[in-house]
Amino acid sequence: MRKRALIAVPIVGMGIAALAACSPATTPAAAPAPSTTAPVLSTTASSAPAPTTTTTSSAPKGTPAADTGNGCKVNPATAAVPTADPYQWVPKADQMQVSLSPAPATVRVAGTPIEVDVTFCNDSPVDYPQAGFVFALDRGSAAPAPLHIAEGAVQRYEKGQWVTQQYPHVGNDPGYLGQFFDQQPMPKGKSVTIRYRFAYDAKTMGNGTGGVVAAVVTPDPNSPNVLGAGKASYTVVK
């Protein structure tokens, strides 16, 4: 089922920057079609990557935040599901944590696909009934001018195989946030880790800067809210 879907957390081996606190308030234009020159990634796992993992825990009322064992704490407070304008962040107190690991400082355009584990941790006081997960190639100077929208392919590891995502990049509007997958409930203390991999298009990408973005959003394809996000930056070389 194809769905649509940002809090920056340190990333191993690479730079990180927080996403903008707010996205444009206007509804974005239709998302551009994926590049027809994007590299084709095999749907067969070349190694044995860990499948998607999920952990959930609960904590008695009135107790300090408890660690679920994987670093995701159960918030002892309780809050209602927040609301926000389309494509905007929910209040900071209600946001989740997002982390990416590991990732190299340099990515070679024609090199082996890069694998990244993304962990979404709901340490907020909100039991979210549903959430969707987003992963995309970020814009950078290595991508074609003038828009610098990265060209390439993104896959997620699901049920023992690699599944190609149809919308692999951040465009010139926040429409990519509506391209979420793996929709599921995210109660307090729940942690989900998803493995992704990506590769750049050798015909259009050059030397420069690049990165990837991961986000968790409310699963509304036309007006999602950002529940948390992380972003990694690196150098791209031919």
What CA–CA distance (Å, rounded) separates 158 from 52? Answer: 7
- Tell me, yes or no, if the pTM score tops 0.85: no
Q: Domains of the chain by range and CATH?
A: 1-21+89-238 (2.60.40.3880)
Q: What is the pLDDT of residue 234?
A: 96
Q: What is the dihedral of CA 42, 44, 48, 49, to 10 degrees?
A: 60
* pLDDT tens digits for range 139-187: 999 999 999 999 999 999 999 999 999 889 999 889 999 999 889 999 9
In angstroms, the CA 88 to CA 132 distance is: 15
d(CA 19, CA 229): 7
How far apart (Å, rounded) are the C-alpha atoms in residues 150 and 140?
A: 7
